[in-house]
A and B are shown apart, each in its own frame.
Chain A
Amino acid sequence: MIANYGYKDGSGDYYISIDTDRCIDCAAGRACLTACPKEMFEIITDDYDDEVACIKQANRRSLAYDCADCKPSGGYASLPCTTACTPGALKHSW
């Protein structure tokens, strides 16, 4: 399942999408949990009883601000979360 967390507002689309099928047998040892300096990820049991990563409720409406430190306006080469998630489950829309 692709789970998209985030929102769209006047300034743009801010979504982090997680390909949860890749989380089921995570080959990265749940690296997202420790890689994110804002500790935005958590592991939940989803509706189909799979253990997968998700973005914490508290961050879902403020991604643009929460991720700002990792995404300087001058550009960035890589993000801690996407780099740590070697199975390639994570994508940012902005």
Chain B
Amino acid sequence: MNAQVAEAVAPEKKEFWRWQENTWVDESKDWRDAKIVTCGIDVGSVSSQAVIVCDGELYGYNSMRTGNNSPDSAKNALQGVMDKCGMKLEDITYVVGTGYGRVNVPFAHKAITEIACHARGANYMGGNKVRTILDMGGQDCKAIHCDEKGKVTNFLMNDKCAAGTGRGMEVISDLMQIPIGELGPRSFDVREEPEAVSSVCVVFAKSEALALLKAGYTKNMVIAAYCQAMAERVVSLLERIGVEEGFFITGGIAKNPGVVKRIERLLGIQAIDTQIDSQIAGALGAALFGYTLMQKQGAAKAA
């Protein structure tokens, strides 16, 4: 059953916040031809990803919701992509864990912070002109500067509150009873752009949203006001380290044009576009770190 059909026949209690989990492999390649197969696993607070890299090139990934514990989430994320291409854990030369659950990835050879991994992943996804990265993750927000090799030169992370994060978006989606993927487009379907809501704090979101609806706002206007508030909030974070040309956004919110376009408007620059799923940046960076380490060790997969 495809996702659209599944959505149409979903039970009455719709989970509006539920974003699309997905698995992909590059059918034009065969991982068995690769000398070095590495894997990156990003166990975040909301989502987990496993990325397979063959000889330094993205080969496949799986992105899903984080389960009850990190080891299982890591295992399930990896299993999803391995099943799709007939791979076994023994076929992978090196595994790097990242994300908040990175130290709990049982089969990882090394753990690297998500800051370094996001920079490395963004450098691959957006090219070596990427200098400023904004990662809007499930429960935190990071602003990173990197050099042409994807090495971090400056970073700042805010994990004190869920405002401006994927979790915050999920709350709004549920409150408005609108599927999360529609929030962005709907936020532009307003007659005039409303002011940002005064607080992006998810704890106050409910009462403020209800008050706005009572005051005559349409749902789309409330969504627009939230997207604007989230954009203002992350921009203020970015301004702390400064924004350089070569701007790239990673994480789930990169898929929400309602927030992205407002960030671009506030900063006066366009984010670099990519065809690759923005949610896999951390895991991709982790797998690439693994590849570099293996290259350094001169190790190749046993014939």
Chain A residues at the B interface, C-beta cutoff of 8 Å: 1-4, 6-9, 13, 15, 47-48, 61, 93
Contacts and interface: CB of A to CB of B under 8 A. Distances in A.
Nearest to A61: B160
B240 A4 contact: yes
Given A9-B160, A9-B161, A61-B160, A4 B155 contact: yes
A7 B116 contact: no
Contacts of A15: 156, 240
Contacts of A2: 153-155, 241
Given A47-B113, A47-B115, A4 B154 contact: yes
B79 interface: no
B26 interface: no
Contacts of B155: 1-4
A3 B144 CA distance: 10
Contacts of B148: none
A8 B240 CA distance: 10
Nearest to B110: A47
A13 B160 CA distance: 12
Contacts of A61: 159-160
Nearest to B145: A2
A47 B116 CA distance: 7
Contacts of A6: 156
Contacts, number: 40
Interface residues of B, number: 19
A1 B160 CA distance: 22
Nearest to B153: A1
A7 B160 contact: yes
A1 B156 contact: no
B156 A4 contact: yes
29 contacts: A1-B152, A1-B153, A1-B154, A1-B155, A2-B153, A2-B154, A2-B155, A2-B241, A3-B154, A3-B155, A4-B154, A4-B241, A6-B156, A7-B158, A7-B159, A8-B160, A8-B237, A8-B240, A9-B160, A9-B161, A13-B240, A15-B240, A47-B113, A47-B115, A47-B116, A47-B152, A48-B116, A61-B159, A61-B160
A1 B147 CA distance: 10
Contacts of A4: 154-157, 240-241
A93 B241 CA distance: 12
A48 B115 CA distance: 12
B65 interface: no
Contacts of A7: 158-160
A2 B144 CA distance: 10
Given A1-B152, A3-B154, A8-B237, 11 more contacts: A3-B155, A4-B157, A4-B241, A7-B158, A8-B240, A15-B240, A47-B113, A47-B115, A48-B151, A61-B159, A93-B240
Nearest to A44: B113
Contacts of A9: 160-161
B236 interface: yes
B112 interface: yes
A9 B164 CA distance: 13
Contacts of B154: 1-4
A13 B237 CA distance: 9
Contacts of B116: 47-48
Q: Could you say which of A2, A13, A93 has the most chain B C-beta atoms within 10 Å of its C-beta?
A: A2
